[in-house]
Amino acid sequence: MMERGHRGTTIEKLVLLAEYFHVSTDYLLGITDDPTWRGGPGGMD
């Protein structure tokens, strides 16, 4: 998809992955080494 100028993922998909794996989005993006999930049980309501 990158050759068409589309992004590989959206923020919503990133949040869904973080919720599924119970890690922070910063951890998924490689910004931090701390995978601690600090979100609530409902995620983005």
Residue 15's nearest CA partner among 24, 4, 27 is 24
What are the boundaries of each domain within the chain?
1-35
Q: What local confidence, expressed as pLDDT, does residue 9 receive? A: 73
Hey, what amino acid is at 18? A
Please say whether the beta carbons of 30 and 24 come within 8 A: no
Q: What is the pLDDT of residues 1-45, one digit of tens each?
A: 456 676 667 899 999 999 999 999 999 999 999 988 776 665 544
With vertex at residue 38, the alpha carbon angle to CA 28 and CA 22, rounded to the nearest 5 degrees, is 50
Q: What local confidence, expressed as pLDDT, does residue 43 receive? A: 52
Q: Looking at the whole model, is its pTM more than 0.75?
A: no
CB neighbours of residue 18 within 10 Å: 20
Show Cβ contacts of residue 26 under 8 Å, excluding neighbours closer than 6 positions. Answer: 32, 34
